Structure 1
């Protein structure tokens, strides 16, 4: 199912869907159905171009990030544990001495900030590795090392190294939370990912307080370049659509609760 989910998701994203439409257009042309081929090709170009516009990309991401305030850790309530989700760095091959920080590395900085601010005594790091990545270290293992370098002592870090997606993040973290008797939970992940993550944790009975990090969309004055197609905007739009698609699928499967 993990492989199938990944494959179907790729076909739903702008690039995958546009390529599929181009192949369909080619088939129509080969069958001498030129009008249908032209229509499929036109839709592919428009669809890909739309999600490549920075203005559209920012609007899509802001519709997710804007549900949460970008507040300092000093403003959040105290809890028993901080749960930080994977996605901030790569586990990397086992012979690499240092983790590879990714775009979501702010998640780990935020978890460290919360611990240093005295918001929780314990930190759970949730993140495994994908089966197609070969013999790599689980992300939680690499994140643990990085958090130690940020001054969070090893004895307060609890690792969950089995999860491969947000659903498993919630399931396996919930096991640790209940085993340890934690009641108040601060959930740390990227702001873009927080709606799905929070709904998934609540579906397994963990009513966490969101502590989002890695906010991306910032106010910008109107200018023409925001309406010029851009490769980074396409990638950012794809991540926003991934969250919407993931949230819809999770709710359909009963893995996420509806928003309050």
Structure 2
């Protein structure tokens, strides 16, 4: 059952890929032409593909998906969350880049590190204990957890306050392996730091494993309404559409008891 559902969602995610949609439209039109189907139908599919491209590229669909994914996290501020006395800040890795055999955190990672450190600093400057749990192995030779740890120490964090979870390869595993560590520590509170567009799915997965974190969105993405479609709008819209498919998958698996 799970195998079939995994396959279904992989297929659904294909529909969040721009090249696949264009390829699909072209294949349908070619097949209809070879079978001498109605010309009007082929034209209609072509027009539909163009309209969909415009709808995605002019930023309108991106605005809708951006609001759905991020609006609940736009007002979170670290300075308002000082009530708990022994928290753990969980920060999710954002990928690793390898340029000329030199590995660096992906561009998304830096806003996450800054947000996590700001929250950590608020506690430490008041002489309150606080830990940072970095979650992510990534696909490089050096784990995201290790790269983040080096950066946090350079910022001024104590090495003793850093916990590295370096096994997870995706958000599901971030939640699974981090929750195991958190249950051993039993902190007073858990803050979750990741990008705004990623937060809804991440929170849902942590809740699946019995952790109810306080969201701290580190960055946000949005599109601009434009007369002419552009690649900026299209790229961010497809990123957010993929995230929505992921949220549907989490909700369905939770309802069927297939997560955890």
What TM-score, normalized by structure 2, do the two folds share?
Answer: 0.83
1:52-71 pair list within 5 angstroms: 52-71=57-76
Aligned to 2:158: 153
Q: Is the CA contact (8 Å cut-off) linking 1:129 and 1:164 kept in structure 2? A: yes
Aligned to 1:129: 138
Specify which of 140, 143, 158 is matched with residue 138 of structure 1.
143
* Cα distance between partner residues in 2 of 1:163 and 1:128: 5
Inter-CA distance 61–72: structure 2 relative to 1 (3 Å threshold): same
Question: Which of structure 1's runs of 4+ aligned residues deviate more than 3 A?
Answer: 3-7, 91-95
Cα offsets for 1:16-74 (capped at 9, x unmatched) = 22322222222222222233332332222221221111243233212221112333311
Between the two proteins, the alignment pairs up a number of residues equal to: 245
Give 5+ residue unaligned stretches, structure 1.
none
- Aligned-pair CA distance for 1:105: 2.5
Aligned to 1:107: 112
Q: Is the CA contact (8 Å cut-off) linking 1:64 and 1:191 kept in structure 2? A: yes
Instruction: Tell which structure's C-alpha radius of gyration is larger.
Output: 2
For the residue of structure 1 that corresponds to 2:134, the secondary structure is strand
Q: Greater shift after overlay, 247-256 or 166-175? A: 247-256
Question: Is residue 87 of structure 2 the alignment partner of residue 84 of structure 1?
Answer: no
Aligned to 1:228: 228
For the residue of structure 1 that corresponds to 2:90, the secondary structure is strand
Aligned to 2:241: 241
Inter-CA distance 9–124: structure 2 relative to 1 (3 Å threshold): farther
Give 5+ residue unaligned stretches, structure 2.
none
* Cα distance between partner residues in 1 of 2:100 and 2:141: 6
Aligned to 1:168: 173
Specify which of 8, 19, 30 is matched with residue 26 of structure 1.
30
